[in-house]
Structure 1
Amino acid sequence: MKKKKQASSNEKAQEQLTLKDTLNAGILEQLKEKQKKLKMEEEEKKAAAEKQKREERRQREKNKSFEELLNESHMDWKRFK
């Protein structure tokens, strides 16, 4: 029973090493560069989307009517009458 467990664990270890070892170093570097590039693009997209949302919020705030601004105010306007 122990031999079967050891044999199967050795096979798994060999399979994992074999996959990594079979990849050419150049291909591995290309994949890593591609991964970095994709991460950078993803971060740029997120930053652009956040910037656009901020700009849209700013434009909505800028275009609010006096009534909307008054309704959103947290002050108790009854005290000032």
Structure 2
Amino acid sequence: MSKKKQEQGSLGDHLNADVLKKLRSKKSELKEQEEVRQEEERKRRLEEKKRKEANKSFEELLNESDLDWKSYKE
């Protein structure tokens, strides 16, 4: 069985070197595009979070506050 595998060789052995180079190039290109897309998504979420924080009403800010007015009451 190992003799058959040796005769068949790997996929890289059967592909033209140029085709293999193009496939590797495409793989790195797609990986780079995915990284750029993830970075843009992260920036978009951060910007949206900042926008929501800036648009909060006084009531929302007060409700999120850890301060307890009862502890300051005399």
CA-CA distance at 1:76 after TM superposition: 2.1
Q: Which has the higher contact order (CA 8 A, sep 6+)?
A: 2
Give the helix-richer structure, 1 or 2.
Answer: 1
State the percentage of identical aligned residues.
Answer: 45
Moved over 4 A (4+): none
Q: How many residues align?
A: 73
Deviations 1:36-55 (A, max 9, x none): 11000000000001100110
Gaps of 5+ in 2: none
Gaps of 5+ in 1: 1-7
What is the root-mean-square deviation in Å for CA atoms of aligned residues? 1.5
Report the TM-score, using the length of structure 1 for normalisation.
Answer: 0.78
Report the TM-score, using the length of structure 2 for normalisation.
Answer: 0.85
